[in-house]
Amino acid sequence: MSFKTEIERRRTFGIISHPDAGKTTLTEKLLLFGGAIQEAGAVKNNKIKKGATSDFMEIERQRGISVATSVLAFLYKDKKINILDTPGHKDFAEDTFRTLTAVDSVIVVIDVAKGVEEQTEKLVEVCRMRNIPMIVFINKLDREGKDAFDLLDEVEQKLGLSVSPLSFPIGMGYDFKGIYNIYEKNINLFSGDSKKNIEETIAFDDIDSPELENIIGTKAAADLRDNIELVKGVYPDFDKESYLAAKQQPVFFGSALNNFGVRELLDCFIDIAPSPRAKAAEERTVQANETALTGFVFKIHANMDPKHRDRLAFIKIVSGTFERNKPYLHVRQGKKFKFSSPNAFFAEKKEIVDISYPGDIVGLHDTGNFKIGDTLTEGEILNYKGIPSFSPEHFRYINNADPLKSKQLYKGIDQLMDEGVAQLFTLEMNGRKVIGTVGALQFEVIQYRLEHEYGAKCTYENFPVYKACWVQAKDKNSEEFKEFKRVKQKFLAMDKRKQLVFLADSQFSLQMTQQKYPNVTLHFTSEFE
């Protein structure tokens, strides 16, 4: 197969949703279609169980399994599909944001009864900002839910999307009869038999055909015709270019649990979803079909076995091919590295591969050379953009509880931060270290892992911070900036990349500071122009 064909047949995407909308179930059904797993339930164990929010043992268990399920790849109709797992738990939102830098498109799952939920809003906003093409899947149609049109309105208003329905439900909940597939022009009848894997569909080029009454009944047929007329009147026709430009989002309805409407989604997905896209680096934009390898690290996963403290760095290949034992330049370190056992992912397994293509994810064993955001090339100096840090929500001082183990503690903190578990800030004034996290859960995870993987002990102390803001000065030598640094010294810290950060203790003080120093801009993310 030619290099061009290999690129064109790849679809690398993520599924995003608020927890419980059905992301895991949908992932599993997609894998079933690809023949990648034999039975339902295989992916399920990957989830953090409900009510386990304070149980870090559960997180550890989950971490063990999630190496395998970080990337789920399968073949379907000759397309190579890579699903990148995005944790739904809000405490791991940053992990999800980072993974979204490595996808070429996403599927957004929404619960028909709950509608658009908080986590969906946040994640979709990130995708919108990055112009990632999105397909919406409205799930759980076998249950009573909101009216389809109300939901479409909600999706447009709350998520700021512009939808084009490609399927439409016939009834809902108890009366759910099936789905009219606008994209394929056929009807798929719902039998409620969750065992069936491949559904039978009835072609309907013309829904005005009297046949429709015979199949779904007079009332349902009349309702469907009205609804489809309304859909056509209200929403724009599907336009692939607009979808690829992230200006329009097709919508499908179905029930993941019943494996209903999933095939339609997948068939349309492989048809319209983008193959690996060009990506902007600080220096230039790189096209997927360039022959020289480039790629970047979007995730680092620590080994579960404390005796082998190597880690797996996940690289998204942007261009060229990644070959085993070929030397590649680690741009940040300015050194070449060879990898004798790069891992590729297939279904729930990983295996050593000789060659990988744009869109693929390669797992590299690493003993501490990689950080999230690092770029690999064949020699070109290139730094991929788009893996910013966001302001954490919780901040605590971290103290060493065992003076004999301070080396282990710092090494541990360093490596956990490279993995992106949390963010570290070092106060300018006294060098004290502050950990910032998205959720309170990470503090427990860090404490536990420092002890079990590095033999170090830590304690925490509250540090009231409202937001961490990355500081940008118009002129670093100006009197204004010097005064800012002197007056606000108590609140200034360095992040891991040695960028200056202002730790505002309240919204009020943030506003006042910004007013007082108009030439010093305070950003909520670490990446700005």
Residue 47 CB, nearest distance to ligand G4P (Å)? 6
Ranges within 334-353 binding ligand G4P (CB under 6 A): none
The single residue among 142, 199, 348, 418 that binds ligand G4P, judged by CB under 6 A, is 142
Strands 134-139 and 249-253: parallel
Q: Is 178 annotated as a binding residue?
A: no
Tell me the residue type at 93: A
Residue 140 CB, nearest distance to ligand G4P (Å)? 4
Binding span for ligand G4P by CB under 6 A among 176-184, 249-257, 361-369, 439-447: 249-257
Separation between Cα atoms, residue 204 and residue 211, nearest integer Å:
9
Output 117 or 505, the one with its CB closest to ligand G4P.
117
Separation between Cα atoms, residue 307 and residue 453, nearest integer Å:
8
The helix, strand and coil proportions of the chain, stated in percent and rounded to the nearest 5, come to: 30, 30, 40
Output 17 or 69, the one with its CB closest to ligand G4P.
17
Output 88 or 276, the one with its CB closest to ligand G4P.
88
Tell me the residue type at 245: A
Lookup: tokens for 259 = 């494996």
Residue 260 CB, nearest distance to ligand G4P (Å)? 7
**Long-range contact pairs involving 255-258 (C-beta distance under 8 Å, separation at least 24):** 255/139, 255/140, 255/141, 255/142, 255/176, 255/190, 256/22, 256/25, 256/26, 256/29, 256/109, 256/137, 256/139, 256/140, 257/22, 257/25, 257/140, 257/142, 257/194, 258/142, 258/190, 258/192, 258/193, 258/194
Q: Is 441 annotated as a binding residue?
A: no
Output 256 or 398, the one with its CB closest to ligand G4P.
256
**Cβ-contact 328, 293 below 8 angstroms:** yes
The single residue among 98, 140, 277, 394 that binds ligand G4P, judged by CB under 6 A, is 140
Radius of gyration of the chain (CA): 25
Lookup: tokens for 148 = 């389809």
Q: Is 5 annotated as a binding residue?
A: no
Binding span for ligand G4P by CB under 6 A among 235-243, 253-261, 301-309, 398-406: 253-261
The single residue among 7, 10, 12, 25 that binds ligand G4P, judged by CB under 6 A, is 25
**Interaction of residue 22 with ligand G4P, rule CB under 6 A:** yes
Output 190 or 463, the one with its CB closest to ligand G4P.
190
**Cβ-contact 252, 167 below 8 angstroms:** yes
Among candidate residues 253, 259, 251, 265, the one with its CA nearest the CA of residue 179: 253
Output 16 or 372, the one with its CB closest to ligand G4P.
16
Q: Is 141 annotated as a binding residue?
A: yes
The single residue among 17, 119, 188, 377 that binds ligand G4P, judged by CB under 6 A, is 17
Residue 82 CB, nearest distance to ligand G4P (Å)? 18
The single residue among 143, 301, 324, 330 that binds ligand G4P, judged by CB under 6 A, is 143
Ranges within 80-139 binding ligand G4P (CB under 6 A): 88, 139
The single residue among 7, 13, 16, 24 that binds ligand G4P, judged by CB under 6 A, is 24
Output 117 or 378, the one with its CB closest to ligand G4P.
117
**Cβ-contact 44, 58 below 8 angstroms:** no
Separation between Cα atoms, residue 22 and residue 113, nearest integer Å:
12
Output 344 or 347, the one with its CB closest to ligand G4P.
347
Q: Is 142 annotated as a binding residue?
A: yes
Cα angle 515, 521, 526; round to 5: 140
Alpha helices in 42-173 (DSSP H): 56-69, 93-99, 118-129, 148-159
Interface with ligand G4P (CB under 6 A): 17, 19-25, 44, 47, 88, 139-140, 142-143, 255-258
Please give the annotated binding residues, written as ranges: 17-24, 85-89, 139-142
Please give the annotated binding residues for GTP, written as ranges: 17-24, 85-89, 139-142
